[in-house]
Structure 1
């Protein structure tokens, strides 16, 4: 961070802010209104801005991405329309993980105990084969383990265990996830 007092100036460098302005233009002109099946095109645009993109990644056109250079999307993962990847810090999404529509993955918060309220960023990891259902909110610093399912509209404030179905506000493990086929 450039500034520890958010009341007197921005938290990010001029270089970072200029890169986000450029990304904003590319997002609006080339990403946002691209046809839904053009996943390869959107993956290409993201990789041009520093995202690490696996094979057969499906990022839909209405996904909002703050900083592509802080994204790592593994093979065959999917990010649904209306999802927000607020990538002030690093976001890692695992193989075949699904982020449903309207999910908010937020890596930034502020230290409200400091009078300058400096920005704090903490990375988020969503494991292989995990599914984060519609409109869930993922807090900074959370890890959602492999195979975990997060119920719709859940608020995830702590790490969630592998191969469990978890839901609620705050989100808690409910039962084991069983794959039947």
Structure 2
């Protein structure tokens, strides 16, 4: 981070803030109001701003993205309208993973044990074929396991295991996820 005392100045450099300003203006004009079916167009815009975006990715126009250069979106993943990707740190969404509407994926927090409450970031990873249902909150540093399902309105404060259905506040594994063919 640029500044360790958040009372005295910005946590990010001027260069970072200018990049976010450019992204914010471009987002409002060209991304936010693009027609829903234009996923390839939005993927192209994200790539232009430094995101690593795979093939067949569905990012809907109502997704809020703090810094696209901190996004890694694998093939065929889906990010629904109303999702907020607070990508102060890296967010990775795996192959065919789904993040449903209203979910807040938050990589940044502050160290409340230090005088200046410095900001710090931890990456978030949503593994292949995982599904984060509507209105969840994903804390910094969390990994959602491969094939895991996170129930609606869950608050995920720690890593969730592979192929489990998990839910709650705080989110906990409930049962194995079994797939029918």
Once the two structures are superposed, the pairs formed by residues 59-74 of structure 1 within 5 Å of their partners are 59-74=59-74
Which residue of the partner structure matches residue 105 of structure 1?
105
Which residue of the partner structure matches residue 154 of structure 2?
154
Which residue of the partner structure matches residue 123 of structure 1?
123
Q: Matched residues in 2 for 1:107 and 1:32: separation? A: 22
Q: Matched residues in 1 for 2:75 and 2:147: separation? A: 15
Gapped regions of structure 2 (runs ≥ 5): none
Q: Matched residues in 2 for 1:94 and 1:137: separation? A: 18
1:51 maps onto 2:48 in alignment: no
Q: Matched residues in 2 for 1:84 and 1:153: separation? A: 14
Q: Matched residues in 2 for 1:46 and 1:70: separation? A: 10
How many residues align? The count is: 181
Once the two structures are superposed, the pairs formed by residues 140-179 of structure 1 within 5 Å of their partners are 140-179=140-179
Cα deviations across residues 61-110 of structure 1 (Å, max 9, x unaligned)? 00000000000000000000000000000000000000000000000000
TM superposition shift of 1:115: 1.4
Q: Matched residues in 2 for 1:142 and 1:51: separation? A: 20
TM score, norm. by length of structure 2: 1.00
Once the two structures are superposed, the pairs formed by residues 22-61 of structure 1 within 5 Å of their partners are 22-61=22-61
Which residue of the partner structure matches residue 95 of structure 1?
95
